[in-house]
C-alpha cells in the first residue's frame, strides 16, 4: 500500500523507519525543506511544498497514494489543513500522528499564551533576559519588544534582519539534557523562557530546568488540533495502517500483499 507521511518531526522519522521495515507498505516521506541538511531516511523522501491543497490532492492521485499520515509538528497548522482538505477531496483515509503536549507539573511557573504576539506582549515593558526557543520562523515578532536581551536558540539561523537588536544566537539541534540546560540558563542569567508547547522528550529539558530554577516559562499553546483519527506514537500509526489493509477502502484491501 502506498502511503504518504508528512514529516518534519521525530515521530515521522520513527514511522519512516518502522514502515521501511514492513514490506506491506510503500511509504514516501514529505518534508517542507526548511532544514538545509536534513537527516537521512530509509524511505524515499520528497522535499518542498506541494503548492497548496489541490496540488497535494493531484500529487496523491499521480502517486497512487492510498493513505496519508499527517505526522507534522503540532504548530504546522497550514500543511495539516491542506492534508485534510486533499484527503477529503480524494476520499483517502487520513491519520494524524501527534505527540501529547507537555502538562503543567508541580513547581512549574507557566504563563500560557495563545500565540506568538501574545508571548511578545507577556514579556512586558521592563527589560528582561529572555531564552527564546520557538524555532527560527517567528523570531522576527520579538523585534516589537527591543528592550529585552534575547538568547535565541534554533537549528539554523534566522535571516539577520529578523533578529531583535539585543540578541545572541545559539545554533543547536536537540535532544538537550536538563543539567546542561540548567547551566545555560544560569550562565546566561536568564529571567524568562519562551517556548512552544511542542511536547516530546527532545526539547523538554529546558522546561524541567526552568522549573528547577524557579524561572517562569511563557508557554505558547498549540493551534487547535486537527479533527479526525489521531494517534500519539509511530507504533500506533503502524497499527492503524495495518487495520486499513484489512478493511475495504478504495481498493486498499485488494492491494494486500502487493
Chain residues in the site for ligand NAP (CB under 6 A): 6-9, 30-32, 34, 49-52, 56, 72-73, 75-79, 82, 135, 196
Question: In angstroms, what is the minimal distance from the CB of 45 to ligand NAP?
Answer: 10
**Are 130 and 168 a contacting pair, CB within 8 Å?**
no
Q: Which is nearer to ligand NAP, 34 or 112 (CB)?
A: 34
Residue closest to ligand NAP, measured at CB: 49
Distance CA 96, CA 73 (A): 10
Question: In angstroms, what is the minimal distance from the CB of 2 to ligand NAP?
Answer: 16
Q: Which is nearer to ligand NAP, 97 or 184 (CB)?
A: 97
**Are 81 and 75 a contacting pair, CB within 8 Å?**
no
Distance CA 79, CA 181 (A): 31
Question: In angstroms, what is the minimal distance from the CB of 153 to ligand NAP?
Answer: 13
Question: In angstroms, what is the minimal distance from the CB of 127 to ligand NAP?
Answer: 27
Instruction: From residue 9, give the alpha-carbon distance in Å to each of 4, 72, 85, 100, 215.
Output: 14, 6, 21, 13, 28
Q: Which is nearer to ligand NAP, 79 or 182 (CB)?
A: 79
Which is nearest to 200 in space by CA: 68, 75, 47? 75
Q: Which is nearer to ligand NAP, 20 or 77 (CB)?
A: 77
Distance CA 66, CA 92 (A): 6
Residue ranges with strand state E in the chain: 2-6, 26-31, 45-47, 67-70, 94-97, 109-113, 129-133, 149-154, 167-171, 192-196, 216-220, 230-231
Instruction: From residue 169, give the alpha-carbon distance in Å to each of 114, 115, 130, 149, 252.
Output: 25, 22, 12, 11, 49
Q: Which is nearer to ligand NAP, 182 or 204 (CB)?
A: 204
Question: In angstroms, what is the minimal distance from the CB of 99 to ligand NAP?
Answer: 11
Helix (H, G, I), strand (E, B) or coil at 6: strand
Containing H/E element for 82?
helix 77-89
Instruction: From residue 211, give the alpha-carbon distance in Å to each of 58, 135, 218.
Output: 48, 21, 12
Q: Which is nearer to ligand NAP, 77 or 169 (CB)?
A: 77
Q: Which is nearer to ligand NAP, 90 or 249 (CB)?
A: 90
The cell numbers describing 238, all together, are 503502524
Question: In angstroms, what is the minimal distance from the CB of 44 to ligand NAP?
Answer: 13
Question: In angstroms, what is the minimal distance from the CB of 39 to ligand NAP?
Answer: 12
Amino acid at each position: 500500500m502506498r502511503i504518504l507521511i508528512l514529516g518534519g518531526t521525530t515521530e515521522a522519522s520513527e514511522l519512516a523507519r518502522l514502515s521501511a521495515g514492513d514490506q506491506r507498505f510503500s511509504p514516501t516521506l514529505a518534508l517542507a525543506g526548511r532544514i538545509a541538511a536534513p537527516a537521512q531516511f530509509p524511505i524515499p523522501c520528497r522535499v518542498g511544498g506541494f503548492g497548496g491543497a489541490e496540488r497535494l490532492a493531484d500529487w496523491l492521485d499521480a502517486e497512487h497514494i492510498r493513505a496519508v499520515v499527517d505526522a507534522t509538528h503540532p504548530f504546522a497548522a497550514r500543511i495539516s489543513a491542506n492534508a485534510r482538505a486533499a484527503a477529503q477531496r480524494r476520499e483517502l483515509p487520513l491519520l494524524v500522528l501527534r505527540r501529547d503536549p507537555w502538562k503543567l507539573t508541580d513547581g512549574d511557573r507557566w504563563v500560557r499564551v495563545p500565540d506568538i504576539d501574545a508571548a511578545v506582549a507577556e514579556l512586558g515593558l521592563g527589560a528582561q533576559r529572555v531564552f527564546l526557543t520557538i524555532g527560527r520562523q517567528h523570531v522576527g515578532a520579538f523585534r516589537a519588544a527591543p528592550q529585552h536581551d534575547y538568547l535565541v536558540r534554533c537549528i539554523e539561523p534566522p535571516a539577520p534582519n529578523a533578529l531583535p537588536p539585543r540578541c545572541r544566537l545559539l545554533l543547536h539541534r536537540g535532544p538537550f539534557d536538563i543539567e546542561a540546560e540548567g547551566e545555560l540558563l544560569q550562565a546566561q542569567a536568564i529571567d524568562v523562557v519562551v517556548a512552544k508547547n511542542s511536547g516530546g522528550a527532545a526539547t523538554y529539558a529546558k522546561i524541567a530546568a526552568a522549573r528547577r530554577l524557579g524561572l517562569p516559562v511563557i508557554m505558547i499553546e498549540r493551534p487547535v488540533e486537527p479533527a479526525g483519527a489521531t494517534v500519539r506514537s509511530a507504533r500506533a500509526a503502524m497499527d492503524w495502517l495495518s487495520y486499513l489493509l484489512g478493511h475495504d477502502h478504495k481498493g486498499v484491501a485488494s492491494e494486500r500483499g502487493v
